Structure 1
Amino acid sequence: MEISVIIPTLNEADRIAEVVRRTRDLGECEVIVVDGGSDDGTLELARQEADQALPGPRGRALQQNAGAAAARGDVLLFLHADCWLEPGSLEEIRSALDSGDVPAGCFRQRIDAQGAAYRMLEWGNAARVRCFGWAYGDQGIFIRREVFERVGGFPEVRLMEDLLLSKSLARHGGIRLLGPRLHVSPRRWQQNGIVRQTLRNWTLLTLAHCGVSPDSLARHYVDVR
Protein backbone atom coordinates (compact mmCIF):
# COMPACT_ATOMS: atom_id res chain seq x y z
CA MET A 1 0.00 0.00 0.00
CA GLU A 2 1.96 2.99 -1.30
CA ILE A 3 1.34 6.32 0.40
CA SER A 4 1.88 9.67 -1.29
CA VAL A 5 2.19 12.63 1.07
CA ILE A 6 1.05 15.89 -0.51
CA ILE A 7 2.13 19.16 1.12
CA PRO A 8 0.63 22.45 -0.16
CA THR A 9 2.83 25.46 0.57
CA LEU A 10 2.86 29.23 0.37
CA ASN A 11 5.84 31.09 1.85
CA GLU A 12 6.98 28.27 4.14
CA ALA A 13 10.74 28.56 3.56
CA ASP A 14 11.48 28.53 7.28
CA ARG A 15 9.93 25.08 7.80
CA ILE A 16 9.47 23.14 4.54
CA ALA A 17 12.81 21.29 4.62
CA GLU A 18 12.20 20.08 8.18
CA VAL A 19 8.63 19.01 7.39
CA VAL A 20 9.80 16.93 4.41
CA ARG A 21 12.62 15.35 6.44
CA ARG A 22 10.27 14.48 9.30
CA THR A 23 7.88 12.94 6.79
CA ARG A 24 10.63 10.82 5.26
CA ASP A 25 11.60 9.63 8.74
CA LEU A 26 8.13 8.05 9.06
CA GLY A 27 9.09 5.35 6.55
CA GLU A 28 8.63 4.57 2.88
CA CYS A 29 6.42 7.11 1.12
CA GLU A 30 6.38 9.54 -1.77
CA VAL A 31 6.62 13.22 -0.79
CA ILE A 32 5.16 15.85 -3.10
CA VAL A 33 5.24 19.59 -2.42
CA VAL A 34 2.91 21.82 -4.44
CA ASP A 35 3.70 25.51 -4.07
CA GLY A 36 1.17 28.26 -4.65
CA GLY A 37 3.55 31.00 -5.78
CA SER A 38 5.87 31.61 -2.82
CA ASP A 39 8.28 34.52 -3.04
CA ASP A 40 10.60 33.36 -0.24
CA GLY A 41 12.34 30.41 -1.93
CA THR A 42 10.02 27.69 -0.60
CA LEU A 43 9.85 25.85 -3.93
CA GLU A 44 13.63 25.82 -4.40
CA LEU A 45 14.15 24.43 -0.89
CA ALA A 46 11.45 21.80 -1.43
CA ARG A 47 13.16 20.60 -4.61
CA GLN A 48 16.21 19.67 -2.55
CA GLU A 49 14.21 17.36 -0.26
CA ALA A 50 10.96 16.14 -1.85
CA ASP A 51 10.39 13.53 -4.56
CA GLN A 52 8.46 16.14 -6.50
CA ALA A 53 8.22 19.90 -5.95
CA LEU A 54 5.73 21.48 -8.29
CA PRO A 55 4.56 25.04 -8.95
CA GLY A 56 0.80 25.26 -8.84
CA PRO A 57 -2.09 27.69 -8.77
CA ARG A 58 -2.60 29.47 -5.46
CA GLY A 59 -5.27 27.92 -3.31
CA ARG A 60 -4.99 24.92 -1.01
CA ALA A 61 -7.72 22.94 -2.79
CA LEU A 62 -6.14 23.54 -6.19
CA GLN A 63 -2.66 22.71 -4.92
CA GLN A 64 -3.78 19.51 -3.22
CA ASN A 65 -5.67 18.35 -6.29
CA ALA A 66 -2.59 19.03 -8.42
CA GLY A 67 -0.47 16.99 -6.03
CA ALA A 68 -2.96 14.13 -6.13
CA ALA A 69 -2.88 14.14 -9.93
CA ALA A 70 0.92 13.85 -9.88
CA ALA A 71 1.07 11.20 -7.12
CA ARG A 72 1.71 7.53 -7.79
CA GLY A 73 0.44 6.20 -4.45
CA ASP A 74 -2.86 4.40 -3.94
CA VAL A 75 -3.28 6.28 -0.64
CA LEU A 76 -3.11 10.09 -0.47
CA LEU A 77 -2.12 11.86 2.74
CA PHE A 78 -2.58 15.64 2.78
CA LEU A 79 -0.25 17.31 5.26
CA HIS A 80 -0.09 21.04 5.97
CA ALA A 81 3.38 22.57 6.08
CA ASP A 82 3.03 23.60 9.74
CA CYS A 83 2.26 20.03 10.85
CA TRP A 84 4.28 16.86 11.40
CA LEU A 85 3.38 13.29 12.32
CA GLU A 86 4.78 11.07 15.03
CA PRO A 87 6.60 7.76 14.22
CA GLY A 88 4.25 4.90 13.47
CA SER A 89 1.70 7.06 11.65
CA LEU A 90 2.12 5.46 8.22
CA GLU A 91 1.74 2.02 9.76
CA GLU A 92 -1.47 3.17 11.44
CA ILE A 93 -2.80 4.39 8.09
CA ARG A 94 -2.03 1.08 6.42
CA SER A 95 -3.61 -0.84 9.29
CA ALA A 96 -6.77 1.30 9.23
CA LEU A 97 -7.21 0.89 5.47
CA ASP A 98 -6.21 -2.76 5.31
CA SER A 99 -9.68 -4.03 6.22
CA GLY A 100 -11.18 -2.41 3.13
CA ASP A 101 -14.18 -0.82 4.86
CA VAL A 102 -12.46 2.47 5.84
CA PRO A 103 -12.18 4.95 2.95
CA ALA A 104 -10.42 7.79 4.77
CA GLY A 105 -9.21 9.09 8.10
CA CYS A 106 -7.28 11.71 10.02
CA PHE A 107 -5.26 12.07 13.23
CA ARG A 108 -5.62 13.40 16.72
CA GLN A 109 -3.78 16.69 17.09
CA ARG A 110 -1.16 17.93 19.47
CA ILE A 111 -0.87 21.71 19.30
CA ASP A 112 2.75 22.47 20.16
CA ALA A 113 2.09 24.91 22.99
CA GLN A 114 1.48 24.65 26.71
CA GLY A 115 -1.83 25.46 28.36
CA ALA A 116 -5.24 24.01 29.15
CA ALA A 117 -6.88 26.02 26.35
CA TYR A 118 -4.83 24.17 23.73
CA ARG A 119 -5.72 20.80 25.26
CA MET A 120 -9.39 21.78 25.06
CA LEU A 121 -8.99 22.69 21.41
CA GLU A 122 -7.42 19.30 20.71
CA TRP A 123 -10.27 17.53 22.50
CA GLY A 124 -12.90 19.54 20.65
CA ASN A 125 -11.35 18.92 17.25
CA ALA A 126 -11.22 15.18 17.90
CA ALA A 127 -14.83 15.22 19.09
CA ARG A 128 -15.88 16.99 15.89
CA VAL A 129 -14.53 14.10 13.83
CA ARG A 130 -16.04 11.44 16.08
CA CYS A 131 -19.47 13.05 16.28
CA PHE A 132 -19.92 14.57 12.83
CA GLY A 133 -17.20 13.08 10.62
CA TRP A 134 -15.83 16.53 9.78
CA ALA A 135 -12.04 16.69 9.52
CA TYR A 136 -9.99 19.82 8.95
CA GLY A 137 -6.82 19.93 6.89
CA ASP A 138 -4.59 20.40 9.92
CA GLN A 139 -5.62 16.94 11.11
CA GLY A 140 -3.76 15.15 8.33
CA ILE A 141 -6.54 13.82 6.09
CA PHE A 142 -5.72 10.57 4.28
CA ILE A 143 -7.88 8.84 1.71
CA ARG A 144 -7.81 5.97 -0.75
CA ARG A 145 -7.03 7.33 -4.20
CA GLU A 146 -10.00 5.55 -5.77
CA VAL A 147 -12.37 7.18 -3.27
CA PHE A 148 -10.73 10.59 -3.73
CA GLU A 149 -11.29 10.34 -7.47
CA ARG A 150 -14.84 9.05 -7.00
CA VAL A 151 -15.87 12.11 -4.98
CA GLY A 152 -14.13 14.48 -7.39
CA GLY A 153 -11.21 15.47 -5.15
CA PHE A 154 -11.26 18.64 -3.09
CA PRO A 155 -13.96 21.09 -4.16
CA GLU A 156 -12.03 23.95 -5.77
CA VAL A 157 -13.10 26.70 -3.42
CA ARG A 158 -11.00 29.25 -1.52
CA LEU A 159 -11.94 28.03 1.96
CA MET A 160 -13.37 24.95 3.73
CA GLU A 161 -12.40 22.51 1.01
CA ASP A 162 -11.58 20.05 3.81
CA LEU A 163 -15.06 20.32 5.34
CA LEU A 164 -16.74 19.85 1.97
CA LEU A 165 -14.59 16.81 1.23
CA SER A 166 -15.51 15.35 4.64
CA LYS A 167 -19.19 15.73 3.85
CA SER A 168 -18.71 13.95 0.53
CA LEU A 169 -16.94 11.09 2.30
CA ALA A 170 -19.92 10.55 4.60
CA ARG A 171 -21.62 8.77 1.69
CA HIS A 172 -18.66 6.44 1.28
CA GLY A 173 -18.04 5.27 4.83
CA GLY A 174 -16.87 8.43 6.59
CA ILE A 175 -13.60 9.28 8.29
CA ARG A 176 -11.82 7.33 11.02
CA LEU A 177 -9.88 9.18 13.72
CA LEU A 178 -6.49 7.56 14.41
CA GLY A 179 -4.41 7.62 17.56
CA PRO A 180 -0.89 8.85 16.65
CA ARG A 181 -0.73 12.56 17.15
CA LEU A 182 -0.26 15.09 14.44
CA HIS A 183 1.75 18.01 15.82
CA VAL A 184 0.43 21.42 14.79
CA SER A 185 2.11 24.80 15.01
CA PRO A 186 0.24 27.16 17.36
CA ARG A 187 1.07 30.17 15.18
CA ARG A 188 -2.45 31.12 14.12
CA TRP A 189 -3.85 30.89 17.66
CA GLN A 190 -0.90 32.84 19.03
CA GLN A 191 -1.16 35.57 16.41
CA ASN A 192 -4.95 35.94 16.47
CA GLY A 193 -5.62 34.86 20.06
CA ILE A 194 -7.15 31.53 21.06
CA VAL A 195 -10.64 32.87 21.78
CA ARG A 196 -10.78 35.12 18.72
CA GLN A 197 -9.50 32.40 16.37
CA THR A 198 -11.89 29.80 17.77
CA LEU A 199 -14.90 32.12 17.55
CA ARG A 200 -13.94 33.04 14.00
CA ASN A 201 -13.74 29.36 13.04
CA TRP A 202 -17.13 28.61 14.60
CA THR A 203 -18.70 31.61 12.87
CA LEU A 204 -17.35 30.58 9.48
CA LEU A 205 -18.52 27.01 10.03
CA THR A 206 -22.02 28.16 11.02
CA LEU A 207 -22.31 30.50 8.02
CA ALA A 208 -21.17 27.71 5.69
CA HIS A 209 -23.91 25.44 7.06
CA CYS A 210 -26.40 28.26 6.50
CA GLY A 211 -25.51 28.31 2.82
CA VAL A 212 -22.95 31.11 2.54
CA SER A 213 -20.45 30.16 -0.14
CA PRO A 214 -16.87 29.30 0.96
CA ASP A 215 -15.50 31.78 -1.59
CA SER A 216 -17.45 34.58 0.09
CA LEU A 217 -16.31 33.47 3.55
CA ALA A 218 -12.68 33.42 2.42
CA ARG A 219 -12.68 37.22 2.37
CA HIS A 220 -13.04 37.17 6.17
CA TYR A 221 -10.39 34.54 6.90
CA VAL A 222 -6.81 35.56 7.70
CA ASP A 223 -4.33 32.86 6.68
CA VAL A 224 -1.39 33.10 9.08
CA ARG A 225 2.11 32.22 7.86
Structure 2
Amino acid sequence: MSLVPVVRITVIIPTLNEERCLVETIESVFAGTSRDVVDIVVADGGSRDRTLKIVKSLGVRAIQTEQGRGAQMDRAAELCGKADVFLFLHADTLLPEGWYYAVKDALKDGSVVAGGFGLSINSRSPWARIIEKGVALRASLLGLIYGDQAIFVRADIFRRAGGFRRLPLLEDVDLIRRIRRFGRVVVLEKRVLTSPRRWQKRGYVFTTIRNWLYLLLYYAGVSPQRLYKGYYKT
Protein backbone atom coordinates (compact mmCIF):
# COMPACT_ATOMS: atom_id res chain seq x y z
CA MET A 1 0.00 0.00 0.00
CA SER A 2 1.41 3.40 -1.01
CA LEU A 3 1.32 6.25 1.44
CA VAL A 4 -0.40 9.50 0.43
CA PRO A 5 2.16 12.31 0.83
CA VAL A 6 1.35 14.91 3.45
CA VAL A 7 1.01 18.46 2.16
CA ARG A 8 1.65 21.06 4.85
CA ILE A 9 -0.14 24.31 4.18
CA THR A 10 0.54 27.51 6.07
CA VAL A 11 -2.30 30.02 5.87
CA ILE A 12 -1.03 33.57 6.20
CA ILE A 13 -3.55 36.23 7.24
CA PRO A 14 -2.50 39.90 7.15
CA THR A 15 -4.37 42.00 9.70
CA LEU A 16 -4.88 45.59 10.75
CA ASN A 17 -7.72 46.12 13.24
CA GLU A 18 -9.71 43.05 12.20
CA GLU A 19 -11.36 42.07 15.49
CA ARG A 20 -14.84 41.94 13.96
CA CYS A 21 -14.20 39.23 11.38
CA LEU A 22 -11.09 37.33 12.42
CA VAL A 23 -12.68 34.59 14.56
CA GLU A 24 -14.93 33.38 11.76
CA THR A 25 -12.07 33.50 9.27
CA ILE A 26 -9.79 31.39 11.44
CA GLU A 27 -12.59 28.92 12.12
CA SER A 28 -13.09 28.48 8.38
CA VAL A 29 -9.43 27.52 7.99
CA PHE A 30 -9.52 24.75 10.58
CA ALA A 31 -12.98 23.41 9.69
CA GLY A 32 -12.56 19.85 8.45
CA THR A 33 -8.75 19.95 8.61
CA SER A 34 -6.09 19.00 11.13
CA ARG A 35 -3.53 21.27 12.72
CA ASP A 36 -1.02 18.56 11.83
CA VAL A 37 -1.20 19.62 8.18
CA VAL A 38 -2.54 23.18 8.39
CA ASP A 39 -1.28 26.06 10.49
CA ILE A 40 -2.00 29.77 10.54
CA VAL A 41 0.29 32.74 10.90
CA VAL A 42 -1.37 36.10 11.47
CA ALA A 43 0.87 38.92 10.24
CA ASP A 44 -0.24 42.05 12.04
CA GLY A 45 0.64 45.52 10.84
CA GLY A 46 -0.01 47.40 14.08
CA SER A 47 -3.58 46.73 15.19
CA ARG A 48 -4.93 48.88 18.00
CA ASP A 49 -8.08 46.87 18.62
CA ARG A 50 -8.45 43.33 20.05
CA THR A 51 -7.03 41.55 17.00
CA LEU A 52 -3.91 40.18 18.70
CA LYS A 53 -5.81 39.16 21.85
CA ILE A 54 -8.25 37.19 19.71
CA VAL A 55 -5.43 35.47 17.86
CA LYS A 56 -3.77 34.47 21.13
CA SER A 57 -7.05 33.16 22.58
CA LEU A 58 -7.45 30.87 19.55
CA GLY A 59 -3.97 29.42 19.92
CA VAL A 60 -2.80 30.86 16.62
CA ARG A 61 0.67 32.22 15.98
CA ALA A 62 1.00 35.96 15.38
CA ILE A 63 3.89 38.10 14.28
CA GLN A 64 4.13 41.88 14.18
CA THR A 65 5.53 43.46 11.04
CA GLU A 66 5.79 46.75 9.22
CA GLN A 67 2.44 47.90 7.88
CA GLY A 68 1.53 47.07 4.29
CA ARG A 69 -0.24 43.92 3.17
CA GLY A 70 2.50 42.70 0.85
CA ALA A 71 5.21 43.34 3.43
CA GLN A 72 3.18 41.63 6.15
CA MET A 73 2.55 38.50 4.11
CA ASP A 74 6.11 38.30 2.83
CA ARG A 75 7.57 38.55 6.33
CA ALA A 76 5.31 35.77 7.56
CA ALA A 77 6.35 33.55 4.66
CA GLU A 78 10.02 34.15 5.48
CA LEU A 79 9.43 32.66 8.94
CA CYS A 80 7.61 29.53 7.74
CA GLY A 81 10.35 27.13 6.75
CA LYS A 82 8.36 23.89 7.01
CA ALA A 83 5.44 24.76 4.74
CA ASP A 84 4.98 23.03 1.39
CA VAL A 85 2.34 25.53 0.32
CA PHE A 86 1.46 29.08 1.33
CA LEU A 87 -2.14 30.27 1.19
CA PHE A 88 -2.67 34.01 1.60
CA LEU A 89 -6.07 34.78 3.09
CA HIS A 90 -7.66 38.17 3.66
CA ALA A 91 -9.02 38.62 7.18
CA ASP A 92 -12.56 39.24 5.91
CA THR A 93 -12.69 36.14 3.70
CA LEU A 94 -13.89 32.64 4.58
CA LEU A 95 -12.46 29.48 3.05
CA PRO A 96 -14.99 26.94 1.73
CA GLU A 97 -15.60 23.51 3.20
CA GLY A 98 -13.04 21.05 1.86
CA TRP A 99 -10.61 23.76 0.81
CA TYR A 100 -7.53 21.83 1.95
CA TYR A 101 -8.28 18.82 -0.23
CA ALA A 102 -9.16 21.04 -3.20
CA VAL A 103 -5.75 22.71 -3.00
CA LYS A 104 -3.97 19.41 -2.44
CA ASP A 105 -5.71 17.81 -5.43
CA ALA A 106 -4.90 20.77 -7.69
CA LEU A 107 -1.22 20.53 -6.82
CA LYS A 108 -1.05 16.83 -7.69
CA ASP A 109 -0.52 18.13 -11.21
CA GLY A 110 3.15 19.02 -11.27
CA SER A 111 2.59 21.75 -13.85
CA VAL A 112 0.39 23.70 -11.42
CA VAL A 113 2.39 26.09 -9.26
CA ALA A 114 -0.32 28.33 -7.83
CA GLY A 115 -3.99 29.15 -7.87
CA GLY A 116 -6.96 30.66 -6.15
CA PHE A 117 -10.65 30.12 -5.54
CA GLY A 118 -13.77 31.41 -7.18
CA LEU A 119 -15.30 34.43 -5.46
CA SER A 120 -18.64 34.87 -3.70
CA ILE A 121 -19.55 38.18 -2.07
CA ASN A 122 -21.56 38.03 1.14
CA SER A 123 -24.32 40.34 -0.09
CA ARG A 124 -27.77 40.02 -1.64
CA SER A 125 -27.16 42.97 -3.94
CA PRO A 126 -27.56 42.17 -7.65
CA TRP A 127 -24.36 44.15 -8.17
CA ALA A 128 -22.52 41.55 -6.11
CA ARG A 129 -23.66 38.84 -8.54
CA ILE A 130 -22.46 40.91 -11.49
CA ILE A 131 -19.06 41.43 -9.87
CA GLU A 132 -18.76 37.69 -9.16
CA LYS A 133 -19.33 36.95 -12.85
CA GLY A 134 -16.80 39.61 -13.78
CA VAL A 135 -14.21 38.04 -11.49
CA ALA A 136 -14.79 34.64 -13.10
CA LEU A 137 -14.48 36.17 -16.57
CA ARG A 138 -11.30 38.03 -15.63
CA ALA A 139 -9.73 34.84 -14.31
CA SER A 140 -10.67 32.74 -17.35
CA LEU A 141 -9.70 35.30 -20.00
CA LEU A 142 -6.74 37.05 -18.41
CA GLY A 143 -5.56 34.46 -15.88
CA LEU A 144 -5.69 37.11 -13.17
CA ILE A 145 -6.32 36.19 -9.55
CA TYR A 146 -6.68 38.83 -6.85
CA GLY A 147 -5.81 38.47 -3.20
CA ASP A 148 -9.45 38.21 -2.12
CA GLN A 149 -9.57 34.86 -3.95
CA ALA A 150 -7.15 33.30 -1.42
CA ILE A 151 -4.03 32.83 -3.52
CA PHE A 152 -2.10 29.61 -2.84
CA VAL A 153 1.38 28.87 -4.17
CA ARG A 154 4.01 26.20 -3.75
CA ALA A 155 6.45 27.48 -1.13
CA ASP A 156 9.56 26.78 -3.19
CA ILE A 157 8.11 28.59 -6.20
CA PHE A 158 7.08 31.54 -4.02
CA ARG A 159 10.67 31.90 -2.86
CA ARG A 160 12.14 31.46 -6.34
CA ALA A 161 9.81 34.16 -7.64
CA GLY A 162 11.02 36.56 -4.96
CA GLY A 163 7.90 36.59 -2.78
CA PHE A 164 5.76 39.68 -2.38
CA ARG A 165 7.40 42.94 -3.29
CA ARG A 166 7.00 45.90 -0.95
CA LEU A 167 4.33 47.52 -3.09
CA PRO A 168 1.58 49.75 -1.67
CA LEU A 169 -0.97 48.47 -4.20
CA LEU A 170 -1.51 45.51 -6.56
CA GLU A 171 1.01 43.30 -4.77
CA ASP A 172 -1.20 40.31 -5.59
CA VAL A 173 -1.26 41.01 -9.34
CA ASP A 174 2.49 41.57 -9.33
CA LEU A 175 3.09 38.23 -7.61
CA ILE A 176 0.86 36.26 -9.99
CA ARG A 177 2.57 37.79 -13.03
CA ARG A 178 5.94 36.54 -11.75
CA ILE A 179 4.63 33.17 -10.57
CA ARG A 180 3.21 32.34 -14.00
CA ARG A 181 6.74 32.10 -15.39
CA PHE A 182 7.18 28.90 -13.38
CA GLY A 183 4.03 27.03 -14.38
CA ARG A 184 0.25 27.02 -14.48
CA VAL A 185 -1.99 29.13 -12.25
CA VAL A 186 -5.47 27.67 -11.78
CA VAL A 187 -8.81 28.79 -10.39
CA LEU A 188 -10.65 26.19 -8.33
CA GLU A 189 -14.39 25.56 -8.60
CA LYS A 190 -14.86 26.04 -4.87
CA ARG A 191 -15.52 29.62 -3.81
CA VAL A 192 -14.36 31.73 -0.92
CA LEU A 193 -16.92 34.03 0.72
CA THR A 194 -15.70 37.58 1.12
CA SER A 195 -17.10 40.63 2.87
CA PRO A 196 -18.77 43.30 0.71
CA ARG A 197 -17.31 46.10 2.85
CA ARG A 198 -14.86 47.49 0.30
CA TRP A 199 -17.60 47.76 -2.34
CA GLN A 200 -20.15 49.18 0.08
CA LYS A 201 -17.78 51.94 1.20
CA ARG A 202 -17.84 53.80 -2.14
CA GLY A 203 -20.48 51.85 -4.03
CA TYR A 204 -20.28 48.78 -6.26
CA VAL A 205 -20.14 50.64 -9.57
CA PHE A 206 -17.56 53.25 -8.56
CA THR A 207 -15.30 50.70 -6.86
CA THR A 208 -15.42 48.27 -9.77
CA ILE A 209 -14.70 50.92 -12.42
CA ARG A 210 -11.86 52.33 -10.31
CA ASN A 211 -10.31 48.89 -9.82
CA TRP A 212 -10.38 48.10 -13.54
CA LEU A 213 -8.95 51.54 -14.36
CA TYR A 214 -6.05 51.07 -11.95
CA LEU A 215 -5.38 47.60 -13.33
CA LEU A 216 -5.21 49.00 -16.87
CA LEU A 217 -2.90 51.80 -15.74
CA TYR A 218 -0.66 49.27 -14.01
CA TYR A 219 -0.37 47.20 -17.19
CA ALA A 220 0.31 50.41 -19.11
CA GLY A 221 3.37 50.95 -16.93
CA VAL A 222 2.19 53.30 -14.18
CA SER A 223 3.97 52.40 -10.93
CA PRO A 224 2.01 51.01 -7.95
CA GLN A 225 3.46 53.83 -5.85
CA ARG A 226 1.92 56.44 -8.11
CA LEU A 227 -1.35 54.54 -8.33
CA TYR A 228 -1.50 54.32 -4.55
CA LYS A 229 -1.45 58.11 -4.20
CA GLY A 230 -4.41 58.44 -6.54
CA TYR A 231 -6.25 55.43 -5.09
CA TYR A 232 -6.62 56.99 -1.67
CA LYS A 233 -7.53 60.41 -3.00
CA THR A 234 -10.65 59.00 -4.70
**TM-score above 0.5, yes or no:** yes
Q: Please report how far the alpha carbon of residue 48 of structure 1 lies from its aligned counterpart in structure 2 after TM superposition.
A: 1.9
Within 2, Cα distance between the matches of 1:191 and 1:156? 26
Instruction: Name the counterpart of 1:44.
Output: 53
What SS does structure 2 have at the residue aligned with 1:113? coil
Q: Compute the TM-score of the two structures, normalised by the length of structure 1.
A: 0.95
Q: Which amino acid aligns with 1:15?
A: C
Q: Is the 8 A contact 2:111 2:184 kept in 1?
A: no
Instruction: Name the counterpart of 2:72.
Output: 63
Q: Which amino acid aligns with 1:40?
A: D
Match of 2:12 among 2, 6, 21: 6
Give the gaps of 5 or more residues in structure 2: 1-6
What SS does structure 1 have at the residue aligned with 2:180? helix
Structure label with greater radius of gyration: 2
Give the gaps of 5 or more residues in structure 1: none
Instruction: Name the counterpart of 1:184.
Output: 194
Within 2, Cα distance between the matches of 1:59 and 1:174? 27
- The reply on whether 1:204 has 2:210 as its aligned counterpart is no
Within 2, Cα distance between the matches of 1:94 and 1:39? 36
Q: 1:64 to 1:26 in 2, by over 3 A?
A: farther
Within 1, Cα distance between the matches of 2:32 and 2:119? 17
Listed as ranges, the matches of 1:144-155 within 5 Å are 144-155=154-165
Instruction: Name the counterpart of 2:22.
Output: 16
Within 2, Cα distance between the matches of 1:78 and 1:85? 11
- The reply on whether 1:133 has 2:143 as its aligned counterpart is yes
Instruction: Name the counterpart of 2:92.
Output: 82
Instruction: Name the counterpart of 1:98.
Output: 108
Within 2, Cα distance between the matches of 1:112 and 1:159? 24
Q: Please report how far the alpha carbon of residue 75 of structure 1 lies from its aligned counterpart in structure 2 after TM superposition.
A: 0.4
Listed as ranges, the matches of 1:161-176 within 5 Å are 161-176=171-186
Q: Is the 8 A contact 1:43 1:54 kept in 2?
A: no
Runs of 4+ residues over 4 Å off in structure 1: none
Instruction: Name the counterpart of 2:121.
Output: 111
Q: Which amino acid aligns with 2:84?
A: D
Q: Please report how far the alpha carbon of residue 194 of structure 1 lies from its aligned counterpart in structure 2 after TM superposition.
A: 0.4
Within 2, Cα distance between the matches of 1:56 and 1:44? 16
Within 1, Cα distance between the matches of 2:187 and 2:32? 19
Q: Please report how far the alpha carbon of residue 41 of structure 1 lies from its aligned counterpart in structure 2 after TM superposition.
A: 2.3
Q: Compute the TM-score of the two structures, normalised by the length of structure 2.
A: 0.91
Q: Please report how far the alpha carbon of residue 193 of structure 1 lies from its aligned counterpart in structure 2 after TM superposition.
A: 0.2
